[in-house]
């Protein structure tokens, strides 16, 4: 699957707050909103990250090695182990990444990516079961969670109705818009803050936890990617 690029907003981050979300998760709210607009969920991800101490990460690494087939990549800075939990007949895939830095000043990191290519009530239930098991087993309250999904086409996207409905649904505040028209593809980025979600980043003392990317090609094809607190590329 094509991954979203981690754009320059990362370099403006001054602080990060990471808190357990309120009730229903962000990805569920986003997916339910998109499907309520009668648009398809084409791709989605939930990425959970946390830096851990050596004894904790070694315990997790040994458990993953005993449970899944994995790969190992090494360079001058890190050793990365990756394990994939994929099952035929299931719509939710899970990838575990264990990063071991070679510099003693850095902490090891666990990243778990849960993803899929569509969304319905059955997948929602499957996701809830998977995320609950993973969070309770591997993570603490210090984790950070990034969520995003992609939808496409539809008249309500072309005429701006979807954008207005989404901003109203989130009661979006502190909005900022950027346009990129340097190529044949027009890209529009919208940043903002919603009180619906606890996790956020702070940019120049302004909280941000919503990023919307709208890509429109000259042939009329439109994609919209919604993310919180930012769109992130894990691979």
Residue 8: the pLDDT is 36
Q: Residue 126: inside a domain, yes or no? A: yes
pLDDT over threshold 50, residue 14: no
213 lies in which domain range?
8-46+114-228
- Tell which wins on pLDDT, 157 or 177: 177
How many structural domains is the chain composed of? 1
Q: Residue 55: inside a domain, yes or no? A: no
Structure tokens at 154: 């539809």
- Tell which wins on pLDDT, 160 or 127: 127
Would you report the helix, strand and coil content of the chain in percent, each value rounded to 5?
Answer: 25, 35, 35
pLDDT over threshold 60, residue 147: yes
Tell me the C-alpha distance between 116 and 99, whole Å: 23
Residue 5: the pLDDT is 38
Residue 9: the pLDDT is 38
Mean pLDDT of 197-205: 87
Q: Residue 40: inside a domain, yes or no? A: yes
Q: Residue 1: inside a domain, yes or no? A: no
Q: Residue 92: inside a domain, yes or no? A: no
**168 C-beta neighbours (distance < 10 Å), count:** 9
Q: Residue 209: inside a domain, yes or no? A: yes
Give the tens place of pLDDT for each residue, 82-138: 999 876 667 899 999 999 999 888 899 999 999 999 999 999 999 999 999 999 999
Q: Residue 32: inside a domain, yes or no? A: yes
pLDDT over threshold 80, residue 26: yes
**Nearest-10 Cα torsion for 2, 154, 25, 203:** 70
Q: Residue 158: inside a domain, yes or no? A: yes
């Amino acid at each position: 699957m094509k991954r979203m690029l981690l754009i320059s907003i990362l370099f403006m981050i001054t602080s990060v707050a990471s808190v357990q979300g309120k009730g229903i998760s962000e990805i569920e709210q986003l997916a339910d909103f998109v499907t309520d607009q009668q648009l398809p969920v084409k791709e989605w991800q939930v990425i959970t990250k946390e830096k851990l101490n050596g004894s904790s990460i070694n315990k997790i690494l040994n458990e993953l090695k005993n449970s899944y087939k994995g790969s190992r990549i090494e360079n001058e800075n890190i050793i990365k182990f990756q394990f994939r939990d994929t099952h035929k007949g299931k719509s939710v895939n899970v990838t575990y990444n264990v990063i071991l830095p070679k510099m003693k000043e850095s902490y090891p990191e666990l990243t778990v990516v849960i993803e899929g290519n569509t969304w319905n009530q059955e997948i929602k239930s499957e996701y809830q079961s998977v995320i609950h098991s993973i969070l309770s087993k591997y993570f603490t309250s210090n984790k950070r969670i990034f969520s995003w999904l992609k939808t496409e086409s539809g008249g309500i996207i072309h005429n701006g109705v979807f954008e207005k409905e989404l901003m109203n649904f989130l009661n979006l505040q502190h909005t900022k818009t950027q346009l990129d028209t340097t190529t044949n593809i027009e890209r529009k980025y919208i940043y903002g803050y919603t009180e619906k979600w606890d996790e956020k980043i702070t940019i120049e003392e302004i909280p941000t936890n919503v990023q919307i990317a709208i890509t429109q090609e000259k042939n009329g094809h439109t994609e919209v990617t919604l993310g919180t607190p930012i769109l992130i590329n894990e691979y």
